[in-house]
């Protein structure tokens, strides 16, 4: 059968809308003398679908690779769902049913496929706002198609097959327009896609400045903890960062933790950390312990929570670990939750350690952090975590030094020791202001010292946790 000459004009009409749709009805009536076979229309849809999917896959929507892949997935998912309505229409109308119910049949199928589209997105994207934005984006093209459908089905001049043939071509044209418009329209919703997880990767945070600053700071902290030598008597490091506004799905996992549990990072990112509570990572109906449920309640109320958790490696081996979970807030907005795994000896008071974690992660401007251990009535540096690149060389140079050699104030060792050893300060914090001269630049610092209570009779502090903040 010769191809209808009216079809190229349909695309122009869909874009310009300058001509009356009735004129096309008249042209179609007089042009399409041969009846269109549904098999041919089905082939046309499949051919154009392949063309549109190829065009979508070769389009660069965004320089951020995660966003780019996400947009491609959204467009392809919509194309495959929306054009699938014709399978059922062809099956039904091959039996020569009247065109009276065509509008209602197609309208119901469009709604059904929209819901299918939204459900498919929810399996890959756990961000309700993003799903709603994508759904609203494609719905405008559904409404455009339904508008044409309403006009054509009210026309009495065309046969059933002519109407369906014209609708198929209009639908294809609208899908083509949607792919072209997506290059401009989709990137405009970028602000709602900051830090979104897709296919085990996290999108760049471009628009939420405070959230980006917080995320970058947490990554710097994590990298510093992993760089620092540790031992079984005292060490801690970030294992996971989750997004509490999106069902606490994992948006960062440290390499050390990934190695310990035998998973690749991409196998953890984007999932709820609860899957690690189950053998083989498969969530089942196993009843969780009351202690675990109590921990969840504490975390959801944004309290810094200390707990023991049993996780399983990928190979199914269970292991127990000590965890501190802290919610990172910006005013009343929950940005992230961090989970730190720690190992401390019995001389360290967990309340002092918890206070240290609270202050460390509650402060946005830290140069570095130090931990001191008491030796011969003085405090020698045990750990140093560097967060500011200007202090990298300095922190390397203070290894094994005493506290008065690092926090330099008038009165030196005697002054600092008198301040630290005041009995009323146990379980409390001490603030000392000092300067650090690095490469002829003076940095003013606020040194917050958390004192760890010794359980021995002489009541001297045996560990100091110190955060060196910018002032």
Q: Domain coordinates of the chain in residue numbers?
A: 7-198, 208-344, 345-471
**Domains 208-344 and 345-471 belong to one CATH topology:** yes
Whether 302 contacts 188, CB under 8 Å: no
CA atoms of 254 and 345, how far apart (whole Å): 23
CA atoms of 338 and 271, how far apart (whole Å): 15
Which residues are 319's β-sheet partners? 311
What pLDDT sits at residue 97? 53
Closest to 150 in 3D by CA, of 214, 113, 216, 102: 102
What pLDDT sits at residue 409? 82
Tens digit of pLDDT for each residue in 421-463? Answer: 765 555 578 889 999 999 889 999 999 998 886 655 555 568 8
Tens digit of pLDDT for each residue in 87-101? Answer: 888 887 776 555 567
Q: Which of 52-56, 305-309, 322-326, 342-346 bottoms out in mean pLDDT, i.e. has the lowest?
A: 342-346
Structure pTM?
Answer: 0.75
Cβ partners under 8 Å of residue 282, min gap 6 = 275
What pLDDT sits at residue 4? 47
Whether 419 contacts 407, CB under 8 Å: no
The arithmetic mean of pLDDT across residues 323-342, rounded, is: 89
CA atoms of 260 and 75, how far apart (whole Å): 38
The CA-based dihedral angle spanning residues 211, 215, 220, 225, taken in that order and rounded to the nearest 10 degrees: 130
What pLDDT sits at residue 3? 45
Eight-class DSSP state of 36: P
Percent of the chain's residues with pLDDT above 70: 83
Helix (H) or strand (E) holding 128: helix 128-153
Confidence of residue 1 (pLDDT cuts 50, 70, 90): very low
Whether 240 contacts 311, CB under 8 Å: no
Cβ partners under 8 Å of residue 305, min gap 6 = 295, 298, 299, 324, 325, 326
Backbone angles phi, psi at 31, to 5 degrees: -95, -45
Which residues are 433's β-sheet partners? 446
pLDDT at 64 over 80: yes
CATH, domain 208-344, list 3.30.450.20, 3.40.50.740, 3.30.70.20, 3.60.21.10: 3.30.450.20
Q: Which of 26-35, 76-85, 89-98, 199-208 bottoms out in mean pLDDT, i.e. has the lowest?
A: 26-35
At the fourth CATH level, the homologous superfamily of domain 345-471 is PAS domain (3.30.450.20)
Residue 284 exposure: Cα atoms within 13 Å on the Cβ side: 6
What pLDDT sits at residue 6? 44
Please state whether beta strands 234-243 and 249-253 pair in parallel, antiparallel, or not at all (unpaired). Answer: antiparallel
The arithmetic mean of pLDDT across residues 303-322, rounded, is: 87
| Range 224-240 burial, b when 16+ CB lie within 10 A, else e | bbeebeeeeebebbbbb
Tens digit of pLDDT for each residue in 233-289? Answer: 677 888 899 998 888 889 999 988 998 899 998 889 988 888 888 876 666 666 667
pLDDT at 7 over 60: no
CA atoms of 7 and 28, how far apart (whole Å): 9
CA atoms of 321 and 240, how far apart (whole Å): 13
Residue 259's CB is within 10 A of a number of other CB atoms, namely: 11
DSSP letters for 57-109: HT----SSHHHHHHHHHHHHHHHHHHTTHHHHHHHHHTT---GGGHHHHHHHH
Helix axes 160-185, 21-31, angle to 10 degrees: 130
Tens digit of pLDDT for each residue in 184-227? Answer: 888 777 667 888 888 888 888 888 888 888 999 999 999 988 88
Tens digit of pLDDT for each residue in 351-406? Answer: 888 899 999 998 878 999 999 988 888 889 988 999 999 999 999 999 989 998 99
pLDDT at 20 over 80: no
What pLDDT sits at residue 459? 52
Q: For all residues of the chain together, what is the average pLDDT?
A: 82
Q: Which of 109-113, 217-221, 227-231, 343-347 bottoms out in mean pLDDT, i.e. has the lowest?
A: 227-231
What pLDDT sits at residue 185? 84
The CA-based dihedral angle spanning residues 287, 293, 294, 298, taken in that order and rounded to the nearest 10 degrees: 170
Confidence of residue 34 (pLDDT cuts 50, 70, 90): very low
Tens digit of pLDDT for each residue in 154-191? Answer: 777 777 778 888 899 999 999 999 999 998 888 777 66
| Range 36-51 burial, b when 16+ CB lie within 10 A, else e | bebeebeebbeebbee
């Amino acid at each position: 059968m010769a191809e209808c000459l009216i079809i190229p004009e349909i695309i122009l009409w869909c874009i310009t809308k300058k001509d009356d749709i009735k004129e096309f009805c008249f042209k179609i009536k007089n042009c399409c003398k041969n009846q269109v076979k549904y098999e041919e229309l089905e082939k046309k849809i499949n051919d154009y679908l392949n063309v549109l999917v190829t065009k979508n896959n070769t389009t660069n929507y965004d320089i951020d690779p995660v966003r780019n892949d996400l947009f491609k997935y959204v467009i392809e998912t919509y194309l495959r769902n929306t054009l699938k309505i014709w399978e059922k229409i062809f099956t039904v109308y091959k039996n020569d049913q009247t065109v009276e119910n065509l509008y209602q049949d197609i309208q119901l199928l469009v709604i059904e496929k929209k819901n299918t589209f939204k459900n498919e997105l929810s399996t890959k994207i756990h961000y309700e706002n993003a799903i709603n934005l994508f759904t609203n984006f494609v719905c405008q093209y559904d409404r455009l198609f339904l508008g044409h459908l309403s006009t054509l089905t009210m026309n009495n001049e065309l046969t059933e097959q002519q109407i369906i043939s014209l609708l198929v071509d209009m639908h294809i044209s609208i899908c083509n327009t949607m792919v072209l418009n997506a290059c401009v329209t989709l990137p405009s919703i970028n602000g709602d896609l900051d830090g979104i997880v897709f296919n085990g990767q996290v999108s760049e945070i471009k628009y939420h400045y405070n959230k980006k600053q917080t995320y970058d700071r947490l990554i710097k902290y994590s990298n510093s903890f992993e760089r620092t030598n540790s031992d079984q008597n005292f060490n801690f490091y970030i294992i996971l960062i989750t997004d509490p506004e999106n069902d606490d799905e994992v948006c960062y996992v440290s390499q050390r933790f990934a190695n310990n549990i035998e998973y690749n990072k991409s196998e953890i990112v984007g999932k709820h950390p609860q899957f690690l509570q189950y053998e083989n990572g498969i969530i089942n109906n196993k009843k969780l312990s009351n202690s675990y449920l109590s921990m969840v309640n504490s975390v959801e109320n944004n309290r810094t929570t200390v707990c023991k958790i049993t996780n399983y490696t990928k190979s199914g081996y269970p292991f127990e670990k000590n965890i501190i979970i802290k919610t990172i807030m910006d005013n009343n907005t929950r940005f992230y939750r961090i989970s730190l795994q720690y190992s401390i000896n019995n001389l360290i008071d967990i309340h002092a350690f918890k206070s240290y974690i609270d202050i460390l992660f509650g402060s946005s401007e830290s140069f570095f952090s130090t931990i001191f251990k008491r030796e011969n009535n003085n405090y020698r540096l045990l750990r140093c975590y560097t967060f500011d690149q200007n202090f990298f060389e300095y922190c390397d140079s203070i290894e094994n030094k005493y506290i008065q050699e690092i926090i330099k104030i008038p009165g030196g060792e005697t002054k600092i020791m008198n301040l630290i050893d005041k009995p009323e300060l146990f379980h409390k914090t001490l603030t000392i202001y000092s300067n650090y001269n690095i490469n002829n630049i003076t940095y003013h610092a606020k040194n917050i010292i958390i004192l760890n209570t010794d359980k021995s009779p002489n009541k001297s502090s045996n560990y100091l946790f110190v955060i060196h903040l910018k002032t």
